[in-house]
Amino acid sequence: MDPNQEKQIIKACQAGNFEGFGELYEVYVKKIYSFVFYKTYHKETAEDIVSIVFMKALENIGSYKPGRGSFSAWLYGIARHAVVDHFRAVRPSVNIEDVWDLADEQNLEIDLDAREKLNEVKKYLAKFKPTHREIIMMRLWQGLSYREISEIIGFSEANCKMIFSREMAKLREEMGIVAFLLFMFLNI
């Protein structure tokens, strides 16, 4: 969907015509699902949270201000808060910054090979600060721009670039080039 078409649909939704919201949903549902899944590692939980995200987006689309950032970043912000809300309700004593690693591995619906790759990736990601881990995940696996990441995380664009660059250099040193390339292009 081109940016002008997206703007038109958003304006129509803000005016009370929600017919086009399905198109926005189609554009973003896989990206938001992936973002949530990498935080929960549980298919049904991710599906539930994604449905909450889009319900909140539909209910609150009037509060979206294009001048404050992209629609994508606004949607990811809703998703980020929905994940935090979920884990606050489910596990109130757990540090919310570490929600990416709270899933019960027995609930994962992925094959053994993918689970092994996932465990290897989680081992490396666990070494990062939570916000650094989020920047890496959003950049590599969600394909977000530094601008979008900065809007979601609340850091400057330059800071996001610097963090990503430094953490990738550390990973390259630690993992070796072959393992690093597999890490970068891992598609679970």
* pLDDT of 120 above 70: no
The count of other CB atoms within 10 Å of the CB of residue 111 is 9
- The predicted model gives 90-110 an average pLDDT of 49
Q: In the predicted model, is pLDDT for residue 177 greater than 80?
A: no
pLDDT digits (tens, 9 = 90+) for 11-69: 999 999 999 999 999 999 999 998 898 888 788 999 999 999 999 999 999 999 988 88
Q: Which part of the chain is CATH 1.10.1740.10?
A: 1-109
* In CATH, 1-109 is 1.10.1740.10: yes
CA distance 126 to 55: 32
CATH topology of domain 110-188: Arc Repressor Mutant, subunit A (1.10.10)
CA distances from 124 to 100, 166, 172, 182, 188 (A): 13, 14, 11, 13, 16
